[in-house]
Structure 1
Amino acid sequence: MIDAHIHADTRPYEDFESMVISGVDTAISCAHDPLRMTSSEVVFDHFYRLMNNDIKRAAENGLKLYLALGIHPRSISSDYEKILKKLPQILKEDSVVALGEIGLERASNEEINIFKKQLKIAEDLKARVIVHTPRSNKKEVSLKTISIIQETINPGQVILDHVDFSLVDDVIEEEFMLGLTVQPEKMTPPEALKILEDYGSEKFLLNSDISSSPSDPLAVAKTVHLMKLKNFDEKEINQVSYENAANFFSI
């Protein structure tokens, strides 16, 4: 199984072991906002911790960890241009399979500007992108996010993440891959199954978004277990827990 979105730097060493024991052997760790990103140096330290420390911590427990790196909308430093300048080089690292997690949180002018610039980098490099959708004011901000994506980049390069019942009807016909985040206060395994029952498995991938917020490192495995109990077809289970993510990230 693949957990298509985690935040490895906020998780204890033992969580990686638990994930592997549950059947998750691969994960994508995204850049986020573990600290106040007061300067580009703090952001780069965050990136380098993921590249130089957390990949190693995961590997020691048998978990293959890949990275998505970028400027999260809650992690905008005053000198963010330095990060934008270095991103094309960072995205060429072997461990980095996508630009992310990027997007809009409040849809401020600054967020929109930085989001567009990062999407342009991804378009130029033909890189994959993981795009955040927020918890607050979700539909309005997400529709703005979608509009910017459609104006800037091939939607087939994008995972639109944290999709829920409020948003799924607006995106199911788009070219994006869609992330179902099974996490306390976001979505339960039964809720994820309801979406898969209603819309099919072809466009979705599961993730846990485990972070410093309430999280469950076994969220993907528990959802797969419930799918088996509810007699989902093996092909559907494989698509949302492995195949769609493996194909999207080419891993």
Structure 2
Amino acid sequence: MIDGHIHADTRPYEDFEKMAISGINAAISCAHDPLKMSTSAVIFDHFDRLVNNDRERAAKNGLTLYFALGIHPRSISSDFEKVLHKLPKILKNERVVAIGEIGLETTSPKEIDVFIQQLRIADDLKAKVIVHTPRTNKKEVTEITKNILLENIEPKRVLIDHVDFTIVDSLIDEQFTLGLTVQPLKMSPKDAFILLNDYGLEKFVLNSDMSSSPSDPLSVPKTVHELRMNGFDEKDIQLVSETNAAKFFNIS
């Protein structure tokens, strides 16, 4: 199994062991806002911690980490241009598989500008992106996000995350990959089963988005169990729990 979106820097060492024991062999750890990202130096230190310290912590428990690095909409520093300048070099690291998580939180002009600039970098480099959708005004913000994406990057290189029942209809007919976040305050395994039963599994990737918020490192295997108990075929279960993520991120 692959957990398609976590925040490894917020989790204890033991969580990686739990994930590996449960059958998760890889995860994508995304850049975010673990503290006040006041300057580019803080953001670069955050990247360094993920790629070095957290990769090692996970590896000691048998879990392979890959990374999505970029400027989260809640992490826009006063000198964000320095981060944008270095992003192409950062993406050369073989463990960095996407720019992310990026997107919009409030749709402020600054957020939109930073989002578009990162999409243009991704488009130039033919890189993948993981796109955040917020809890607040989710439907309205997602619609703006979708329009920006369609204007600036090939949809097949975009994973839109934290998809739920309020926004899935507006995204399902596009070529995006869609992330289902199974987390106590977002979606239960039962909710994920209902959504996948209604919309199919071909476009979806499961993740826990485990962070400092209420989280469950076993969200993906618990959702797999829910699907299995409701009669889903094993090949279909593998699609949403591993194959789709491996294909999108080009990882084994």
Q: Distance in 2 between matches of 1:149 and 1:91?
A: 20
The root-mean-square deviation of aligned C-alpha atoms, in Å, is 0.4
2:82 aligns with 82
Q: Match of 2:11, as an amino acid?
A: R
Name the counterpart of 2:177: 177
Structure 1 SS opposite 2:205: strand
State the Cα distance separating 1:166 from its structure 2 match: 0.2
In the alignment, the residues of structure 2 paired with residue 246 and residue 38 of structure 1 have an alpha-carbon distance, to the nearest angstrom, of 34
Q: Which residue of 2 aligns with 1:223?
A: 223
Secondary structure of the equivalent of 2:226?
helix
Judge which range, 148-157 or 228-237, deviates more. Answer: 228-237
Q: Tell me, what secondary structure is at the counterpart of 2:101?
A: strand
* Residue 209 of structure 1, CA deviation: 0.1
More off after superposition, 39-48 vs 227-236:
227-236
Shift of 1:236: 1.2
The alignment-based identity, stated in percent, is: 67
**Corresponding residue number in structure 1 for 2:243:** 243
Give distance in 1, aligned partners of 2:2 and 2:94. 18
CA distance in 2, matches of 1:248, 1:51: 20
SS at match of 2:119: helix
The CA distance in 2 between the partners of 1:96 and 1:3, in whole Å, is 15
Matches within 5 A, 1:66-215: 66-215=66-215
For the residues of structure 1 that align with 2:142 and 2:107, how far apart are their CA atoms? 9
TM-score by length of 2: 0.99
Gaps of 5+ in 2: none
Q: Supply the distance in 2 between the matched residues of 1:63 and 1:192 (Cα, whole angstroms).
A: 24
Give the AA of the match of 1:2: I
Q: SS of the counterpart of 2:178?
A: strand
What is the letter of the counterpart of residue 194 of structure 2?
Answer: K
Q: Provide the C-alpha distance between the structure 2 equivalents of 1:109 and 1:23, rounded to a whole number of angstroms.
A: 42
- In the alignment, what sits opposite 1:52? 52
Equivalent in the alignment of 2:63: 63
What letter corresponds to residue 167 of structure 1 in structure 2?
I
How many aligned residue pairs are there?
251
